[in-house]
Amino acid sequence: MKIEKIETFVCHARMRNWVFVKVITDQPGLFGWGEATLEWHTRSITGAIEDVSQLLIGEDPRRIEHLWQMMWRQHFWHGSGIVRSTAISGIDIALWDILGKIHGVPCHQLWGGPVRDYIRLYSHLGGGRMEDFYEIPEDNAKQFAELAIKTVEDGYTAFKTMAVPSTAPLEGNKPVRAAEACISSIRDAVGEDIDIMVDCHARPSPAMGMKFAKALDSYGLYFLEEPCWPESMDAMAQINSVTTTPIATGERLTHLAAFRDLFAMRGCEICQMDITHCGGFTEARRIAAMADAYRISLAPHNPQGPVSTAASLEFGFSQPNYIICESVHSDVPWREDIVDEGFVVDPATRTVQANDKPGLGISINEDEIKKHPFEQELPQRVFYRDGSGGDW
């Protein structure tokens, strides 16, 4: 059995171009799907997949670990840069999809069978509609509360909001009070039984991140995400150590050694490795095992396309420390035209029953993808009041 061809399919989905990877074998009808979406780097990714593919054509797709080692180590440059690691991830996910199809079982069965009965989903406020998640003015606490109520009415028991404004390296109380007003308004609207997550998007400096974390600590957040740059791991650890709110991070880390450093510093309580960036299932499983040694939970980053979601769920059914699956459902209205999913969502509780179809359990409609060809992503550029450049 040999890998014959690796193809990429780009599907423009408003905020992102989804990049799907199809690994095709020489066996009739045997292929696998992966995802390697990396917004604002779409052309780099399709090129990187083409480059990495040269190592794999003609190889046995069942030797996944061996192929992963080749992709990560060969041709001199290690696979730890975000573009290469995302390319490797997309291919790796597709290889596991193929292996599941060969054995006629879902991926999670390959890894020891399901460890739980269901997985809880959380939503972005607004369901992933770009304007509702990223673009509400932070002083509009009422609008945050209205979206929160709508999310709970949609069946979700947990959701994430970006109610922390972008700030210069040091600012006074105004942005901190604005964030607090939003979260207070959301908590009043949904009550104590709903889990609220706040994503700081790694915009604050360590000093501002500390201020936001302390101001929001009394609202019982489920977690506070990226309160400072991932490069400031020591500051992340400091914030984690002084707040009761568990800190979540990891979506921008791309290899095992980076997670080792994060965990050893106790930089988080929730690891958000992205299966489509961190080296696919092969590396994610190693990161998960290491996290478990520290009793750190897993909530993989997953705002991308439908292959990424199927991957997160297959992973979640196999991992004891997995706590919740990030999901978006309103990013584009034609999401369900692109994919048939093997898992089943209960709309009343937004919980998921495991897929029982082989591999990832999905089929992708290539004709539907062709209706949404590549378009340049909208620029998302942030400048502070004085005109200096900031983080999105």
Which residues are known to be catalytic? 201, 301
| Choice between 35 and 199, CB closer to Mg ion | 199
Give buried/exposed letters for 247-271 (b at 16+ CB in 10 A, else e). Answer: bbbbbbbbbbebbeebbebbbbbbb
The first and second tokens of residue 236, run together, are: 């992340």
Residue nearest to Mg ion (CB): 199
Q: Which stretch binds Mg ion (CB under 5 A): 154-162, 192-200, 280-288, 371-379?
A: 192-200
**What kind and span of H or E run contains 161?**
strand 158-161
Q: What does the alpha-carbon distance between residue 176 and residue 227 come to, in Å, rounded to a whole number?
A: 13
As measured in angstroms, the least distance from the Cβ of 247 to Mg ion is: 12
As measured in angstroms, the least distance from the Cβ of 246 to Mg ion is: 14
| Choice between 203 and 372, CB closer to Mg ion | 203
C-alpha separations of 60 from 22, 28, 35, 75 in Å = 15, 15, 20, 19
As measured in angstroms, the least distance from the Cβ of 199 to Mg ion is: 5
As measured in angstroms, the least distance from the Cβ of 68 to Mg ion is: 26
| Choice between 3 and 270, CB closer to Mg ion | 270
As measured in angstroms, the least distance from the Cβ of 333 to Mg ion is: 24
| Choice between 25 and 302, CB closer to Mg ion | 302
Q: What does the alpha-carbon distance between residue 367 and residue 385 come to, in Å, rounded to a whole number?
A: 46
As measured in angstroms, the least distance from the Cβ of 236 to Mg ion is: 13
Q: Is 180 in the site for Mg ion (CB under 5 A)?
A: no
Nearest to 216 by CA among 252, 148, 162: 162
As beta bridge partners, residue 368 has: none
Number of residues that bind Mg ion (CB under 5 A): 1
Q: Which stretch binds Mg ion (CB under 5 A): 193-201, 240-248, 325-333, 334-342?
A: 193-201
Give buried/exposed letters for 184-200 (b at 16+ CB in 10 A, else e). Answer: bbbbebbeeebbbbbbb
| Choice between 304 and 318, CB closer to Mg ion | 304
Q: Which stretch binds Mg ion (CB under 5 A): 59-67, 94-102, 195-203, 236-244?
A: 195-203
Q: Is 199 in the site for Mg ion (CB under 5 A)?
A: yes
| Choice between 199 and 269, CB closer to Mg ion | 199
With 0-12 / 13-18 / 19 or more C-beta atoms within 10 angstroms meaning exposed / middle / buried, residue 39 is middle
**227 Cβ partners below 8 Å, 6+ apart?**
200, 202, 204, 209, 210, 212, 213, 236, 239, 247
Q: Is 331 in the site for Mg ion (CB under 5 A)?
A: no
As measured in angstroms, the least distance from the Cβ of 200 to Mg ion is: 8
Q: Which stretch binds Mg ion (CB under 5 A): 7-15, 122-130, 197-205, 310-318?
A: 197-205
- Which residue is it, tokens 């897929």? 355
| Choice between 47 and 230, CB closer to Mg ion | 230
C-alpha separations of 290 from 115, 260, 263 in Å = 18, 7, 8
Q: What does the alpha-carbon distance between residue 9 and residue 18 come to, in Å, rounded to a whole number?
A: 8
Q: Which stretch binds Mg ion (CB under 5 A): 83-91, 110-118, 191-199, 260-268?
A: 191-199
Q: What does the alpha-carbon distance between residue 119 and residue 311 come to, in Å, rounded to a whole number?
A: 13
Nearest to 161 by CA among 120, 196, 137: 196
Residues that bind Mg ion (CB under 5 A): 199
